[in-house]
Amino acid sequence: MTFEMTVHRGPRDPSLRRRLVTRAAIVLGHTLRPLPPALLAKVLGRVSRGARPASYAEAKASRDRVMSASLGMNALQACLQRSLAVALLCRMSGCWPTWCAGVRQSEPFTAHAWVEAEGRSVGEPGVSERFVALVRVSAG
């Protein structure tokens, strides 16, 4: 089976500080990625303490920054690191989206990680209908 995939890379952020903060979130996401799910959820729960819930616009802006900063974040297999980077980048600005990890509801088995804000998945339409979240880390 083949399919076409187009990678959209947004304009480069002119602010050096914002680029460095985005890169730091990506590196932190890469560092957290190998943790077992229970420990990862515990770490993210601690990180999210004291943060207000992210709006959809804030979470989408963070996702766009992560996607523009690294082509590797656009890969299909990068969902865990991408979702971690987006959540951490939101936290660096004082908010926290709902971080989710789950599995596809129908065959074939597929694991996936994503972020939600205002009750809907950010930048990935239809994820909520196709996947069931096994782990959720909300603000607070």
When divided into structural domains, the chain yields a total of 1
Q: Give the C-alpha separation, 84 to 20, whole Å.
A: 16
Q: Could you list the residue range(s) of the whole structural domain that residue 66 is in? A: 16-137
Q: Do the beta carbons of residue 113 and residue 136 sit within 8 Å?
A: no
Amino acid 132: pLDDT: 92
Is residue 10 one of the residues assigned to a domain?
Answer: no
Instruction: Tell me the residue length of the chain.
Output: 140
Is residue 1 one of the residues assigned to a domain?
Answer: no
Beta strand 98-104 with 52-53 is unpaired
Query: pLDDT band for position 5 (50/70/90)?
Result: very low
Tens-digit pLDDT profile for residues 42-94:
999 999 999 999 999 999 999 999 999 887 777 778 899 999 999 999 999 99
Question: Which one has a higher pLDDT value, 39 or 12?
Answer: 39
Cα–Cα nearest to 62, from 22, 23, 27, 35: 22
Q: What value does the mean pLDDT take over residues 34-42?
A: 94
**Chain-wide mean pLDDT for the chain?**
88
